[in-house]
Amino acid sequence: MDLSSVAVTKLKGVGPKLADKLKRLKITSLQDVLFHLPSRYQDRTRIVGIGDLVPGLEVMTTGVVVSCEVLFRRRRSLLCVIADRESNQLSLRFFHFNQQQQQRLRVGTRVRCFGEVRRGPQQLEMVHPEFQTVSSASDSSDAPENALTPVYPVTEGLHQLSMRKITQAALEYLKSFDVEELLPESVNQGVSLKQALMTVHRPGADVDIDALLQGNHAAVQRLVLEELVAHRLSVQQIRNAIKQQGAPLINIEGDLCQQLVSALPFELTNAQLRVIEELKSDLEGGMPMLRLVQGDVGSGKTLVAAAAAAMVVDAGYQVAVMAPTEILAEQHLVSFSGWFEPLGLKIGWLKGKLGAKQKRDALESIALGHTKIAVGTHALFQQDVSFNKLGLTIVDEQHRFGVHQRLSLREKGVELDVVPHQLTMTATPIPRTLAMTSYADLDYSVIDELPPGRQAITTVAIPNARRIEVIERVAEAIKQGKQVYWVCTLIEESEALQANAAEDTLIELQECLPDARVSLVHGRMHATDKERAMMQFKNHESDLLVATTVIEVGVDVPNASLIIIENAERLGLSQLHQLRGRVGRGSVQSSCVLLFEPGLSQRARDRISTLRETNDGFLIAERDLELRGAGEVLGTRQTGSAQFRIADLMRDKKLLPAVKTITDDITANHPDRVMPLIMRWLGEESPEYGNV
């Protein structure tokens, strides 16, 4: 039976409403349920004593309630304290609770709870743990579970318990049927696909827990192998489709590119010149360019892209420049306008929130071909945008867009069998292991040289207890006429996350620095307010910008030479490196201060150490991949990108040679299996290859 043809509504308990929620997770068939794999597991197989708890771990523990009270502080909360026989104590904190829960946690009640252990104001605590009451220490319901508990990716309104029930129903179905084996029979992993799915979804008591958690279990590796094969096949399909298509033949005869370079107040680096030559060769080749330009923060990628745009415009074609956020798109608008308008070329602008007349005029100018270079956000690939003669698309911070979104923009220029060239850029250096697998549909160039005069940024890590010293350092920098970023990880106060909020920090810094001009920017602000705050800072109408990580990309203020990053232990290495890159954009020595809370985990220590030791984005990216895995480095925030469900490129890179061999075998001997494999693992994320 083809499980991909069995609707999810055939499963017990799945009605139309639940089916709609599952659809948000791209789950519409029985096969989709089976391949919606656990993202991790909770270990409820053992009970950890309160005295042995360690911050950062998810564990199950037991104790007797010794106090329980409702607190009225910044937020109303229920604080319950439990203790063991040795008088070790743990706080259970609830921000959302009802009277029934409060009664269940009365003093003297024995409870078993599961949650993440964190440092609290007085002692270790769990915030919103799962809990159940048990009558005594010998109660059988107090015993640990005999298998790992899977945790699935879910969506709003769909809870873990529901997802486990749905999966269980699918597994019951699977017991009576076989899932189709699509890998060649010669691939013997010692475990069938059916067995692998059963084990990964419901690991039994006899399963090697450590091997499963570390991803080394045979069942995991069987699924990893097939997922990597599916990804490689999808990339291969894209490349093959591209080879079948023609592209605008760009004759580099005009002198707009030379005019652009000659007008610059500085000389291009050898790395920039090398990459421009690579782009020129692609544009003259007659096949669609599909090139990724990687370059560390401040290496001059945008200028390289502008040079390519000049070549294409000179040949009579249009150029589209797309960025993932309005802030970054506006930065490109300013840069391209500054370079091209003195040369007589007006730059177009298109974003989601334009006035009706502005949008109508912008669309008309693009459609008639009057706009030679259009800069914008994702609005550029909306249905109502029509280019007259699109020759090149430039996509910045491309890891935030999925393959099919990149292709959507290219399709704007499809005319007969000719598609536009595409140049994608990223300031997030992508490790070679990742680039070879996830971005193998792209050729790639590296700008591995910074412009002369740029100095390495000095990075220090300081505990939050010395916060007042940091504020004094900020005051001194402002007194010297310099500008400062202060980055917070949250917009609003959250006791659960114990991170300082941007709004509270703004008030604190205004009180401590009464003579400083302090402004605020975060993602929830109205676009015009955000733009106003950013422009004030850029024009030095404010000295200190308190911001969330919305400033990670796109802000270029050469006078800013100091950045403070709060709760640095909560951010990934690449994100910290991106934020640090907001300073050091001028010739002045710049500094980055990482404020952290005590009790760092080993992983947080490693991240901060790496950042202090090097400014090399590629070394940082490799280290980030080791620490966090490919899924997070690719970015969980990105829209439309296919994430690995179970594969981890650093852990599983030993399989890559076998993946290539199997892919070649399937392509040559089993072509009918290519699309079923791709659809099984990538589903709707699979590009429509005929339209590439």
Model pLDDT, residue 410: 60
**Residue 16 pLDDT more than 80?**
yes
Helix, strand and coil percent figures for the chain, each rounded to 5: 45, 20, 35
Residue whose structure tokens are 């579970």: 145
Task: Give the pair of three-digit tokens for residue 234.
Answer: 């999808």
CB 498 within 8 A of CB 598: no
pLDDT-derived band at 526, boundaries 50, 70, 90: confident
In the sheet that 483-487 helps form, which strands lie side by side, from edge to edge? 458-463, 591-596, 560-565, 483-487, 544-547, 518-521
Rounded distance between C-alpha atoms, residue 624 and residue 641, angstroms: 19
- The residue type of 578 is Q
pLDDT for res 643: 65
- Helix axes 218-243 and 193-201, enclosed angle (nearest 10): 120
**Mean pLDDT score of the chain:** 84
pLDDT at 402: 53
| Burial category of 116 from C-beta neighbours within 10 Å (exposed 0-12, middle 13-18, buried 19 and up) | middle
- For the residues 580-595, what does the mean pLDDT come to? 87
For the cut 90, the answer to whether the pLDDT of residue 200 exceeds it is yes
* Percent of all residues in the chain with a pLDDT value above 70, rounded to a whole number: 87
Do 250-447 and 458-614 share a fold? yes
**pLDDT attached to residue 498:** 44
- CA 269-274-276 angle, to 5 degrees, is 95
- Architecture, CATH, for domain 250-447: 3-Layer(aba) Sandwich (3.40)
pLDDT digits (tens, 9 = 90+) for 607-656: 889 889 888 877 787 777 666 554 444 333 332 334 688 988 778 888 88
The ranges assigned to domains in the chain are 3-42+149-214, 50-142, 250-447, 458-614
Tens of pLDDT, residues 387-404: 999 999 998 875 555 555
pLDDT tens for residues 108-163?
A: 999 999 999 998 888 999 999 989 888 765 555 556 777 788 999 988 888 888 99
Residue 400: its pLDDT value, please?
53
pLDDT score at 375: 95
Report the pLDDT value the prediction gives residue 428, as an integer from 0 to 100. Answer: 67
- How many C-beta atoms surround the C-beta of residue 645 within 10 A? 18
Span 308-337, average pLDDT: 90
Q: What is the pLDDT of residue 499?
A: 52
pLDDT of residue 625: 67
What's the pLDDT score for residue 633? Answer: 40
Identify the pLDDT of residue 327.
72
CATH architecture classification, 50-142: Beta Barrel (2.40)
Q: Give the confidence band of 90 by pLDDT, cuts at 50, 70, 90.
A: very high
* Residue 405, amino acid: Q
Kindly state the average pLDDT of the residues 212-217.
88
Lowest-confidence pick of 223-232, 439-448, 596-605: 439-448
Among 56-65, 279-288, 300-309, 643-652, the minimum mean pLDDT is found in 643-652
Closest listed residue to residue 248, CA positions, set 387, 137, 384, 130 = 387
- Show contacts of 351-358: CB within 8 Å, 24+ apart: 351/326, 351/376, 351/377, 351/379, 352/326, 352/377, 352/378, 352/379, 353/527
Residue 133 Cα distances to 64, 115, 116, 508, 641, angstroms: 10, 15, 19, 43, 43
N- to C-terminal Cα distance for the chain?
Answer: 32
Instruction: Copy the structure tokens of residue 323.
Output: 């960025």
**pLDDT above 90: percentage of residues in the chain:** 44
pLDDT digits (tens, 9 = 90+) for 23-63: 999 999 999 999 999 988 888 888 999 999 998 888 999 99
The two three-digit tokens of residue 127, written as one number: 């915030």
- Position with higher pLDDT, 131 vs 434: 131
Instruction: For residue 257, give the nearest of 342, 338, 340, 332 by alpha carbon.
Output: 340
Does 250 or 501 have the greater pLDDT score? 250
Considering only residues 653 and 87, tell me which one the structure prediction assigns the higher pLDDT: 87
Residue 84 has pLDDT above 80, yes or no: yes
Of 314-318, 504-508, 581-585, 649-653, the range with the lowest mean pLDDT is 649-653
**How many angstroms separate the CA atoms of 631 and 401, rounded?**
14
Whether the per-residue pLDDT at 413 is higher than 70: the answer is no
> What is residue 166's predicted lDDT score, i.e. its pLDDT?
96
The contacts of residue 329 (CB under 8 Å, 6+ apart) are 321, 322, 323, 351, 375, 376, 377, 554
Q: Class of 458-614 per CATH? A: alpha beta
| Averaged pLDDT for residues 424-434 | 70
| Tens digit of each residue's pLDDT (9 = 90 or more) over 347-372 | 999 987 788 899 999 999 999 999 99
pLDDT score of 632: 44
Residues 6+ apart with CB under 8 A from 624: 431, 572, 573, 574, 633
